[in-house]
Amino acid sequence: MSIEYIISMITNNWPMFLRGAGMTLLISIIGTIFGAVIGLLAGVIRTIPTPERKLKRIVLKIVNLILSVYIEFFRGTPMLVQAMVIFYGSALAFGIDMDRTMAAIFIVSINTGAYMAEIVRGGVISIDKGQFEAAQAIGMNHFQTMWSVVLPQVIRNILPATGNQFIINIKDTSVLNVIGVTELYFQAKTVAGISFKYFEPFFIACILYFVMTFTVTLILRYIERKLDGPENYSMIGQPPPQLMLTKSNTNID
């Protein structure tokens, strides 16, 4: 083993490593985004206050039960095993031959969704009760309250935890090689198989994983700072009305 050998391995196999890293990023980015959306939806539904009417109350109970089962099941089983069960199970039971990449994105999404649902619920609970009361007092319903007041604050607060989840996803997509997804680990294994060298390809993969996760960390830090906004504000003397509606001073949509 030598530095030269590693460099020559990169120059000879860089398309494979790059494709693998690209696939890993694709799966983890889309998986994290879908997972976050699932988590936000589940979090909002699970914090709906108990309705007055009996029928609505029963419907909500059933929906919450389904969500609990989903969350507990996917948090409680390994993603590797889920991948095998879903990919081969769908072929066996329904005769569906799932596209491997789609299957990978699906598995990472629902897995992340289960974790994110709990993260979001924690985030919603941590918001001061006064924020909900003030929103209700001006006549907002649960979804308006969530959309305009609570979720923007929740998203800010759960960003570090979401970043964690993203980084975990980048690393954990490596287990998806069991269903033959050509992500980074799979590609490194292939290079190892061709060259009969084991240390070098996995060392390269290791560096690539770290570059990806650390970049994500830096980007999320930047977003956090952006969301926090400037420390200072400017006073307005006599505001000319047409100048007021700039994007920076209203965030209603």
Partner 1 sequence: MQNVIEVQHLSKSFGNHEVLKDIDFSVNKGEVVCIIGSSGSGKSTLLRCINLLEKPSGGQIIYHGENILDEKHDIHAYRKKLGMVFQQFNLFNNHNVLSNCMVGQVKVIKRSKEDAEKVALKYLKVVGMDQYVNAKPKQLSGGQKQRVAIARALSMEPDVMLFDEPTSALDPEMVGEVLKVMKELAGTGLTMLIVTHEMEFAKEVADRVVFMDKGVIAEEGTPEQIFNNPKEDRTKAFLKRTLS
Whichever of 93 and 235 has its CB closer to partner 1, that residue is 235
Label residue 148 exposed, middle or buried (CB < 10 Å: 0-12, 13-18, 19+). middle
Q: How far is the CB of 159 from partner 1 (least distance, A)?
A: 13
Backbone angles phi, psi at 51, to 5 degrees: -70, 160
Contact residues: partner 1, CB under 8 A: 52-53, 128, 130-131, 133-141, 144, 148-149, 152-153, 156, 229, 232-237, 239, 241, 244-245, 248-252
Whichever of 89 and 229 has its CB closer to partner 1, that residue is 229
Q: How far is the CB of 81 from partner 1 (least distance, A)?
A: 40
Q: Which of 248, 245, 187, 159 is nearest to 9 (CA)?
A: 187
Whichever of 1 and 53 has its CB closer to partner 1, that residue is 53
Q: How far is the CB of 251 from partner 1 (least distance, A)?
A: 6
Contact indicator for 147, 128 with CB cutoff of 8 Å: no
Q: How far is the CB of 138 from partner 1 (least distance, A)?
A: 4
**Per-residue b/e over 92-114, b at no fewer than 16 CB within 10 Å?**
eeeeeebebbebbbbbbbbbbbb
Whichever of 2 and 250 has its CB closer to partner 1, that residue is 250
CA angle centred on 37, ends 36 and 38, rounded to 5°: 90
